[in-house]
Structure 1
């Protein structure tokens, strides 16, 4: 009767309803039975003993940059192994639907810290499509591991229509015909099932390459008229806008957020980047939460995206995106392909005075706290500095923290590796944010910033925190609510057919051992990416926690090991928005 039976686990259906011990029967990629009594195992090909374990819908990662990697390794196993069974592509105005390989390299290389040459090669070598429909067909021809859904990138549309040079020239705006063609590209993407469009106004996201190097992303050059025209299409179709406001201009945040309101027109679903407990600006996150509450009370449909774990980042030398937010840092990153010139710049005393002035500006909107005493050196050829902060090294040498930092980078370059936590450092604040209905849980950036951070298992880490708080007698949400926030809530908002585990639902399943929701979740490891010439990626490894992952009813991962069929058979699908199951049995 069943292809797979999952026996005796604690079942969570993704709606927030009370969990219960149940037996699940899966058939043809769907949940065929949820029973309090054991199921008939006759002729069942796979039986999973889940006694003592949690059985929940596969989790959804709403913010990734796998657009390049999926073309080279469509298993996306780094996310699957942590229970992410649905991945959203096309964040931050970036997608590979329309641009050439060269333009994709310029768009992704520096902003997302994915080596440019691999971006160019991946798109040029695999691109067989010329439209959004063709892109979806190309994805579905691959042996996908997880399910995919996608935004169409505003910068992708703009660069393809105007050319990257014109699309990033301040005094150039699209002609009437060009704007009409951009609208057509958006409409076609929505017809193909994309969940919406992503756009970006953040001014420290810079282009790679030589032609337009260090210009901001094409979507940042769009005038109000262009944004409104594209947003009108999203409104009329009930699809979402993912936006990234400019942190240095609060008015851009207000404008993007307020676009959710209807007032004699359809409201617009808006999800903005991002709500975080930023060290540099304590308390601002509560203002963001208040904005969400006000807008939704006024009839909007607004969310901030939020990473529900500490935002710890690593850097090899000065190669960290936060340096883009001030002039002297951006000047150094501009020379990432000219390392000798960069070394000379960092050694220059006038440049150092400039850097110190930027470093000492502790006021105004910003991401990095700019505190080199809060920056621990983890690797360096000079072993005497390992475990110390740059500030401590400066004290020992009688130097300013900036000079201590730059001295080490000049001498050792990227061999100086260090870490800091930028935001989400206060557990009590994290707990409030995790339960805030105006926030969506996600923002992992999976597939990008490969040397800088690893948040592939953020969902597991949230579940651990919720479980631990309950056991300590200080609950801030139920486990059922946490599961709902990571699964069904997101699926319903983006209107995709996943995220629930009831009879008739898609059989995307995660089985975890709650006894291994432990300190192993915090550890980082390194794993080479063969498709990127062995570049070492920061990853999470908690193999005892996730005992089984199924996508569309097919077993793909468990206990740290891939299924033999992963990468040879397609288990994932492209999930088209607007096709969320309405026939599901309650």
Structure 2
């Protein structure tokens, strides 16, 4: 495939579409970095050399002296399934060096279900505005099969490369109907089980990565028809899950699983399912290796479970780990952690603020909430400590900067009553912050080195008002770099790059995560001088695709000098190329098990980057 560019300059030698000069180059294999000049032609790395490379008048030259050049990051856990349909550039990921995103996680995809069912499946679980999700699906959904879905995405001006799991809830609802698939007593018939198998195989034939499933009871349906029922996948029996595992094992594809985050017992089921004693092992990627404040002992189990599954059981089991502090914001009570307990679920069941406020003022409800909140030995992810909070926005400005516990003491009230009073008084204008997990650097450094722990769980594209981890790769590089400067190295930089890139591409079986000669030129240029406090700063930006919603984002443009997809520099020094995500598309759908090193078919020709 050629780009139509004349690769001869006046002196007669070969020239390149892009030349990256003098950077410390990492190829994604885990090897140490070496200073090289990269020449990129027709979307592929043509050479990596210490020699000067010829350039022509059309060559895009990147001065990378003193910077790191590495494969673009692979984001393995996103919920971009709705956003990609109306904003295919996915700029919040690309501006942070991500060049490949995996969708269809947590049993949720938009392949088989209709638009209404898709909106009800996604919106409450992923804290997305339901009206906008429904509108996105209604205005774009022309596909009825996985193959048509892939073709539809490839026709869009994708920014990064995308790939996907087929969601078990999507398949189950399309076969059984959304109502029956979410009934506690609902069980698929023999013919329906066969139909589920057939649809899964159809998706794998189209190049999907595997199947995503869900057993966590927090995740609830939106809409009016089946509101507050748990997702279809949570109603499946273990025998139904085992049918899926047999398909994945036979075809060498991946299971993405979310265990019950309250009981955690079914982690053993997924670890056992991955093992290969007397059979072919199955790849399993499971949430989530985290150092939670609520249960400080939990971080110790991830290594041993992976060891037993992989070393003793000859399996291919991986944990997903967010390599930065897991901090969240909430507008009032609109936060998924309240789904952990019954009284919280009852409040979130009510969509209208007035009806919700009547409930929150009721004394019997408050007693229930206090009882749930104060249970000492109930399994939990959230620490439920109102002293470990900070009010960031409130119409009563005197409260900003205080913890909810501080306000409770000043009012001489129970912290739960104080919290519920603040929600009733100020609604969603009462905004507060807390840290859920990964707040101890020493533990985080141990987890990132633990065999069987991989980088993931950014949740990009979801929980738009609650959290923003689009820059997870930058966060990890900053922590590793800071430790190196302090003389307390965590792991070699080449291995860190491998964990963000090649390790993930190889595990999921996609052509991503490497930047060797002959590879597709998806890369990011990092300026280590930009790995500073800006990485952690709070920012918001409006989202035109979802009605001007102000969502949490990250902004560390000093760290990311440039991002390129398929050999085209699309983001540089804080700016995207004109037409990015509308008339300019560089990404493609990456099919599992298929080597696609050539760039995507041209849908538009990128123009020169802004000066």
TM-score w.r.t. the length of structure 2 is 0.94
* Separation in structure 2 between the aligned mates of residue 382 and residue 580 of structure 1, nearest angstrom: 57
* Separation in structure 1 between the aligned mates of residue 346 and residue 401 of structure 2, nearest angstrom: 28
Which residue, out of 148, 166, 173, partners 2:162?
148
SS at match of 1:259: helix
Deviation of 1:248 after TM superposition, in Å, equals: 2.2
**1:446, 1:455 within 8 Å by CA — same for their partners in 2?**
yes
**1:362, 1:370 within 8 Å by CA — same for their partners in 2?**
no
Instruction: Report the counterpart of residue 93 of structure 1 in structure 2.
Output: 107
SS at match of 2:38: strand
**1:317, 1:417 within 8 Å by CA — same for their partners in 2?**
yes
**1:2, 1:43 within 8 Å by CA — same for their partners in 2?**
no
Deviation of 1:170 after TM superposition, in Å, equals: 1.5
Deviation of 1:263 after TM superposition, in Å, equals: 2.7
Deviation of 1:44 after TM superposition, in Å, equals: 5.0
Paired residues in the alignment total: 582
Deviation of 1:87 after TM superposition, in Å, equals: 0.4
Unaligned runs of 5+ in 1: none
Report matched runs for 1:336-415 at 5 Å.
Answer: 337-415=351-429
Deviation of 1:197 after TM superposition, in Å, equals: 0.7
SS at match of 2:105: coil
Instruction: Report the counterpart of residue 305 of structure 1 in structure 2.
Output: 320
* Separation in structure 2 between the aligned mates of residue 542 and residue 250 of structure 1, nearest angstrom: 36
Instruction: Report the counterpart of residue 248 of structure 1 in structure 2.
Output: 262
Which residue, out of 204, 215, 223, partners 1:190?
204
Which residue, out of 536, 539, 556, partners 1:522?
536
**2:520, 2:597 within 8 Å by CA — same for their partners in 1?**
no
* Separation in structure 1 between the aligned mates of residue 549 and residue 68 of structure 2, nearest angstrom: 35
Instruction: Report the counterpart of residue 62 of structure 1 in structure 2.
Output: 76
Give a deviation string over 1:51-106, Cα, whole Å, max 9, x none: 11110000000000000000000000010000000000101000000111111111
**1:375, 1:419 within 8 Å by CA — same for their partners in 2?**
yes
SS at match of 2:556: coil
* Separation in structure 2 between the aligned mates of residue 63 and residue 41 of structure 1, nearest angstrom: 38
Deviation of 1:189 after TM superposition, in Å, equals: 0.7
Instruction: Report the counterpart of residue 87 of structure 2 in structure 1.
Output: 73
Give a deviation string over 1:443-495, Cα, whole Å, max 9, x none: 10000000000000010010011111111111111111110000000000011
Deviation of 1:580 after TM superposition, in Å, equals: 4.0
Deviation of 1:363 after TM superposition, in Å, equals: 1.8
TM-score w.r.t. the length of structure 1 is 0.98
Instruction: Report the counterpart of residue 488 of structure 2 in structure 1.
Output: 474
* Separation in structure 1 between the aligned mates of residue 77 and residue 431 of structure 2, nearest angstrom: 26
Instruction: Report the counterpart of residue 315 of structure 1 in structure 2.
Output: 330
Task: Note if 1:224 corresponds to 2:249.
Answer: no
* Separation in structure 2 between the aligned mates of residue 544 and residue 476 of structure 1, nearest angstrom: 24
Instruction: Report the counterpart of residue 509 of structure 1 in structure 2.
Output: 523
* Separation in structure 2 between the aligned mates of residue 533 and residue 540 of structure 1, nearest angstrom: 20
Task: Note if 1:199 corresponds to 2:233.
Answer: no
Task: Note if 1:158 corresponds to 2:166.
Answer: no
Deviation of 1:582 after TM superposition, in Å, equals: 10
Deviation of 1:154 after TM superposition, in Å, equals: 0.3
**1:5, 1:44 within 8 Å by CA — same for their partners in 2?**
no
Instruction: Report the counterpart of residue 578 of structure 2 in structure 1.
Output: 564
Unaligned runs of 5+ in 2: 1-14, 599-611
Which residue, out of 315, 327, 340, partners 1:325?
340
Deviation of 1:253 after TM superposition, in Å, equals: 1.5
* Separation in structure 2 between the aligned mates of residue 157 and residue 104 of structure 1, nearest angstrom: 11
What is the root-mean-square deviation in Å for CA atoms of aligned residues?
A: 1.2
SS at match of 1:549: strand
Task: Note if 1:573 corresponds to 2:588.
Answer: yes
Instruction: Report the counterpart of residue 226 of structure 2 in structure 1.
Output: 212
Deviation of 1:555 after TM superposition, in Å, equals: 1.0
Which residue, out of 422, 427, 439, partners 2:453?
439
* Separation in structure 2 between the aligned mates of residue 580 and residue 493 of structure 1, nearest angstrom: 14
* Separation in structure 1 between the aligned mates of residue 57 and residue 280 of structure 2, nearest angstrom: 52
Instruction: Report the counterpart of residue 495 of structure 1 in structure 2.
Output: 509
Give a deviation string over 1:347-374, Cα, whole Å, max 9, x none: 1111111111111113232111010111
Report matched runs for 1:429-468 at 5 Å.
Answer: 429-468=443-482
| Deviation larger for 510-519 or 262-271 | 262-271
